[in-house]
Amino acid sequence: MGKRIVLADPRGFCAGVDRAILTVRTILKSADTPRADGLPPVYVRRQIVHNKHVVEDLAAQGAVFVQELAEIPDAAAEAGIPIVFSAHGVSPAVKAEAAARGMHVVDATCPLVSKVHREVLRFVKEGYEIIYIGHKGHDEAVGVVEESPEHVHLIEHASDVDSLDFQPDTKLVLLTQTTLSVDETAGTITALKARFPWLEMPPNSDICYATSNRQAAVKLVAQQSDCVVIVGSANSSNSVRLMEVAQEGLGERGKAYRVDDASELDPAWFEGLESVGISSGASVPDELVSGVIDALQNLGFTGMKSVETIKENMHFVLPAELRRKPLR
């Protein structure tokens, strides 16, 4: 067989990202722009999903992205301009601030992230201390931990387990960020169970279906490739995990790269190789993957093979705020 591309399936958009982007697009579509008062049709707190192309595209259509609600003028709240919370979720303090300022919130938090928030509240109410495996500073982890900072103990890796100290009479349960590496988390859980054998697991893993499916597919792709390219932004947790999983699968045989788009590819990476694996993070539009495929085809990788591990049919309805009342 000649030089070829090995394409992971599933890859790219998950149901939570699809819903979050559609939320902003729906608001943009129903808005009268430009407004006489000069206000934008919608504000979005933080990146709606962690992909710079998606954010730039929505910004070009009029969405205004802010880091904090404080950047939004009172006039916007008074005019009822929608403010969208991103797919990664927010802390109770952010919700309270929006409510206090009378903002018209449209919450695009992924339902699978909201599930973890609810688990925190339930377990704290039942008297548990929660060990939460996540990435410090990531929007999702910040929102979850702030549900109950005194009872949620964040660790990142197995090496952090020693920093925890609980007595055997402490009710302990484990929760995790949705976009972790399945394998690395299993290692951390083993270390936790060795130290705290009474640690309880949640009813279902918090690592979401999209994360597990994309990691399973890229593992197989890595086995059949000389190198792997992951399309996804540097601040996208699941994209970075995909790159790590691919690198583990490749071992010494080759290298895994992460690029935002085709412009970041370096032809030198592919010299002398026969096969290049490709996958993309859950926040990545497929046209960016198409751009990478085109670039590799121009470098002579004209064969194409798809590695499919599972068919996804997950779908989330739009946020209740969009289903309930018409937007202005």
Give the active site residues.
Answer: 140
Residue 62: how many other CB atoms lie within 10 Å: 16
6 binds ligand SF4, rule: CB under 6 A = no
Q: Which residue, 114 or 223, has its beta carbon nearer to ligand SF4?
A: 114
What φ, ψ does residue 115 adopt, rounded to 5°? -60, -40
Torsional class of 272: left (φ above 0), alpha (ψ -120 to 50), beta (otherwise):
left
CB of 17 to ligand SF4, least distance (A): 5
178 binds ligand SF4, rule: CB under 6 A = yes
CB of 51 to ligand SF4, least distance (A): 11
Residue of minimal CB distance from ligand SF4? 16
What residues numbered 94-133 form the site for ligand SF4, per CB under 6 A? 110, 112-113
Is 148 annotated among the ligand-binding residues? no
Measured distance CA(123)–CA(76) in Å, rounded: 37
Measured distance CA(102)–CA(78) in Å, rounded: 7
172 binds ligand SF4, rule: CB under 6 A = no
Residue corresponding to tokens 């008297």:
127
Torsional class of 89: left (φ above 0), alpha (ψ -120 to 50), beta (otherwise):
left
| CA-closest candidate to residue 12, choices 42, 38, 45, 51 | 51
279 binds ligand SF4, rule: CB under 6 A = no
Q: Report the side by side order of strands in the sheet with 129-133.
A: 152-155, 129-133, 172-176
Residues in the chain, how many? 328
Q: Which residue, 16 or 232, has its beta carbon nearer to ligand SF4?
A: 16
Q: Which residue, 12 or 40, has its beta carbon nearer to ligand SF4?
A: 12
289 binds ligand SF4, rule: CB under 6 A = no
51 binds ligand SF4, rule: CB under 6 A = no
Is 227 annotated among the ligand-binding residues? no
- Largest Cα–Cα separation, the chain: 64
**Binding characters for ligand SF4, 239-278, by CB under 6 A (x = yes):** ----------------------------------------
86 binds ligand SF4, rule: CB under 6 A = no
Residue ranges with strand state E in the chain: 4-9, 43-45, 64-66, 82-85, 104-107, 129-133, 152-155, 172-176, 227-231, 256-259, 275-280, 303-308
69 binds ligand SF4, rule: CB under 6 A = no
148-177 b/e (C-beta count within 10 Å ≥ 16 → b): beeebbbbbebebbeeeeeeeeeebbbbbb
55 binds ligand SF4, rule: CB under 6 A = no
Taking CB under 6 A as the criterion, the residue among 179, 185, 205, 275 binding ligand SF4 is: 179
Q: Which residue, 221 or 242, has its beta carbon nearer to ligand SF4?
A: 242
72 binds ligand SF4, rule: CB under 6 A = no
Is 88 annotated among the ligand-binding residues? yes
| CA-closest candidate to residue 45, choices 72, 73, 22, 26 | 72
3-state helix, strand, coil in the chain (%, to 5): 45, 15, 40
Taking CB under 6 A as the criterion, the residue among 5, 6, 8, 14 binding ligand SF4 is: 14
Q: Give the pair of three-digit tokens for residue 250.
A: 């490749």
CB of 297 to ligand SF4, least distance (A): 29
Give how many residues touch ligand SF4 by CB under 6 A: 15
What residues numbered 191-210 form the site for ligand SF4, per CB under 6 A? 208, 210
List binding-site positions.
14, 50, 88, 110, 138, 178, 208, 236-238, 283
Which residues here bind ligand SF4, judged by CB under 6 A? 14-17, 87, 110, 112-113, 178-179, 208, 210-211, 238, 282
List binding-site positions for [4Fe-4S] cluster.
14, 110, 208
